[in-house]
Structure 1
Amino acid sequence: MQQDKQPDYHPVVFRDRAAGYAFLTRSTARSEQTIEWDDGQSYPVIDVEISSESHPFYTGKARTVDTEGRIARFERRYGGAESGEAT
């Protein structure tokens, strides 16, 4: 097995700018910027535009698509299965 082929896996802070939320995890991502965390140590920080704290799916603010209304409108406009036309 080849030695020293694994990437450097280290603690990193990801900061969601939209929600003002930050979390400490382990990653191979690198950054020149650092931030002092709650434990008093300094960690590299990576700014992200969206995370589970601000994503509409996870926050419950996701929009639902009215697929039934779209299908009914299509069938009214172009004729549906009840029109009796053979395909």
Structure 2
Amino acid sequence: MRHGIHPASRPVVLRDRAPGFRPPTRSTVESRHTVEWQDGAPCPVVDVEISSAGPPFRTGASPVVDTAGRVERFERRHGPARR
């Protein structure tokens, strides 16, 4: 690895906004916001929109799909399905 060309990596906390998931990791991302970590030391925090804890199927935030309504709407437009 060549010296002087790579950005400095530092410990940060990635905070997922939806479930409040906060894994510690290392990153080169700069952050002005800090959070107090479990050991009491301040650690930079980076807010992310999506993380491994945040997919809709795990958080219950996925919309309810009305499949019966879709089938009825299809049959109104195109007639009942032939079997």
TM-score tier by shorter-chain length is: 0.5 to 0.7
Please, which runs of 5 or more residues in structure 1 have no aligned partner? 63-87
Give the number of the structure whose alpha-carbon radius of gyration is greater: 1
Question: Is the partner of 2:50 in helix, strand or coil?
Answer: coil
Counterparts of 2:26 and 2:11 in 1: how far apart (Å)?
4
Instruction: Note if 1:9 corresponds to 2:22.
Output: no
- Match for residue 21 of structure 2? 21
What TM-score comes out, normalization by structure 1 length?
0.57
Counterparts of 1:36 and 1:8 in 2: how far apart (Å)?
22
- Match for residue 46 of structure 2? 46
1:21: how far off? 1.4
Aligned CA-pair RMSD: 3.2
Please, which runs of 5 or more residues in structure 2 have no aligned partner? 63-83
State the one-letter code of the partner of 1:15: R
| Identity, % of aligned positions | 49
Moved over 3 A (4+): 56-59
State the one-letter code of the partner of 1:14: L
